Chains A and B, each alone.
Chain A
């Protein structure tokens, strides 16, 4: 069963990624182009990405490829990975976290995943368009961002433990509130502890930065919603079939 769910999760992730790519192509790419134009106009940050190396050096990947095949490939690989992990979380939780129907559970996990993986880490380290961020701090920024994601996941596990501990004494509702409070506490402490990163150029258009971040959030929302709905539908069909014929 786990195997079948895993493949279905990856498939749901790939389909969701194609949908998200469509969205990104229409809504995000004009913003990326504008950010790159800004970057090109400000020679100080000598670009290391394609299509806009003004030094005449041959860019390894053209803008045309970056915004079509490159974008789709990145999204599909990300979607397949996300969908795979999603299906494993589902496979473990199904029947263990209450007797919830497969489509409802999938949607719940998707909503939680969107909040835990996409939204909360971005509160501290929001997505940035090209031209924002210094090349020489990439190590620090990558480590800090991954640490924030890790903290968010750990905080979720802590919260689940807290809920289990409290549910007998406080009742289900109060225990859930307590668990959410525990999650927020852990995340808030990490947000204070982790380094502050402020690398937006002074004259970078604020509206462009806002638009980019909102569109980036929209892409994540489409990805998670499509995985939750798509996988839930596939999982229900698979579960109805019962024992695998093979």
Chain B
């Protein structure tokens, strides 16, 4: 029985032969992904709280429990 097996045994897999993903390939998707993520996060965390794009409180009320539980200031 191996008593000194490594704790992490998943080997490094080269990215299609390269050591890492080239920045040129990474950058456009990073911009798109970040933009998308920030829009989603805005609606979960802040819309109709500190800032409001839409009138009323329906968005706020709908995500109310999640907003509290995910740690965002709610009201």
Give A contacts to B, CB under 8 Å. 1-3, 6, 9, 24, 28-29, 32, 48-50, 59-61, 65-67, 69-71, 73-75, 77-78, 80-82, 84-85, 87-88, 91-92, 94-96, 99-104, 118, 121-122, 125-130, 133, 135, 138-139, 141-143, 145, 215-216, 219-220, 236, 239-240, 242-243
Contact = CB atoms under 8 A, between A and B. Distances in A.
A48 B40 contact: no
A77 B29 contact: no
A147 to B, nearest CB: 12
B71 A60 contact: no
12 contacts: A6-B29, A48-B75, A60-B58, A60-B61, A66-B62, A73-B63, A84-B37, A95-B14, A99-B12, A99-B19, A104-B10, A143-B50
Given A77-B40, A215-B69, A2 B26 contact: yes
Q: Which 5 A-B pairs have the closest CB atoms?
A: A74-B66, A95-B20, A101-B10, A142-B50, A61-B61
Given A1-B21, A88-B29, A101 B57 contact: no
A94 B20 contact: yes
Q: Which of B10, B18, B51 has the most CB of A within 10 A?
A: B10
Contacts, number: 197
A6 to B, nearest CB: 5
B8 A32 contact: no
Given A78-B70, A133-B74, A70 B65 contact: yes
B66 A240 contact: no
Contact of A101 (B13, B16, B17, B67): B13
B33 A85 contact: yes
A71 B67 CA distance: 8
A62 to B, nearest CB: 9
Given A101-B8, A133-B73, 7 more contacts: A28-B69, A78-B45, A88-B26, A103-B10, A104-B8, A143-B50, A239-B15
